[in-house]
């Protein structure tokens, strides 16, 4: 089975801190994604990557950056955390462009 793991299930940070969220997949998938999920707004795409060192902006990239140095690892970085970035963050991967996504368990981030 495909496994997507995220570094933390719960995280509490202070405004202005730099935050790293890590995601690792173990099935050699080409594509990786970062979403945030908020009540009433659904899943919103932050960034995605279709290859090592490649990244593309999603619908809401402001305030975030990403890094993909290795195929299995996709990191989301909040350069200076703000309270409006309090959310559930979900990482996903997919084998190819037409394939289903496999999601990690999520990281619930609270910024105080």
Partner 1 sequence: EDQVTQSPEALRLQEGESSSLNCSYTVSGLRGLFWYRQDPGKGPEFLFTLYSAGEEKEKERLKATLTKKESFLHITAPKPEDSATYLCAVQESGGSYIPTFGRGTSLIVHP
- Do the Cβ atoms of 59 and 34 come closer than 8 Å? no
CB of 101 to partner 1, least distance (A): 7
Q: Which of 60, 58, 63, 56 is nearest to 30 (CA)?
A: 56
- Do the Cβ atoms of 5 and 72 come closer than 8 Å? no
- Do the Cβ atoms of 21 and 108 come closer than 8 Å? no
CA dihedral of 57, 32, 38, 22, whole degrees rounded to 10:
-100
**Within 27-56, which residues bind partner 1 (CB under 8 A)?**
33, 40-43, 45, 48
61 binds partner 1 (CB under 8 A): no
- Closer CB to partner 1, 86 or 101, in the complex: 101
Segment contacting partner 1 (CB under 8 A): 11-19, 60-68, 72-80, 95-103? 95-103
CB of 35 to partner 1, least distance (A): 8
Q: Which position among 21, 104, 109, 111 is part of the footprint of partner 1 (CB under 8 A)?
A: 104
- Closer CB to partner 1, 32 or 81, in the complex: 32
What CA–CA distance (Å, rounded) separates 19 from 5?
17
Q: Which residues bind partner 1 (CB under 8 A)?
A: 4, 33, 40-43, 45, 48, 58, 90, 92, 97-98, 100-106, 108
């Amino acid at each position: 089975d495909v496994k997507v793991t995220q570094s933390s299930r719960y995280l509490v940070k202070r405004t202005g801190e730099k935050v790293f969220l890590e995601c690792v997949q173990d099935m050699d998938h080409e594509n990786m994604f970062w979403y945030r999920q908020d009540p009433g707004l659904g899943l919103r795409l932050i960034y995605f990557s279709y290859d090592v060192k490649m990244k593309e902006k999603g619908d809401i990239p402001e305030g975030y950056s990403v890094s993909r140095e290795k195929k299995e690892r996709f990191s989301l970085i909040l350069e200076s955390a703000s309270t409006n970035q309090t959310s559930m963050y979900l990482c996903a991967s997919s084998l190819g462009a037409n394939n289903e996504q496999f999601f990690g368990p999520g990281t619930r981030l609270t910024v105080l």
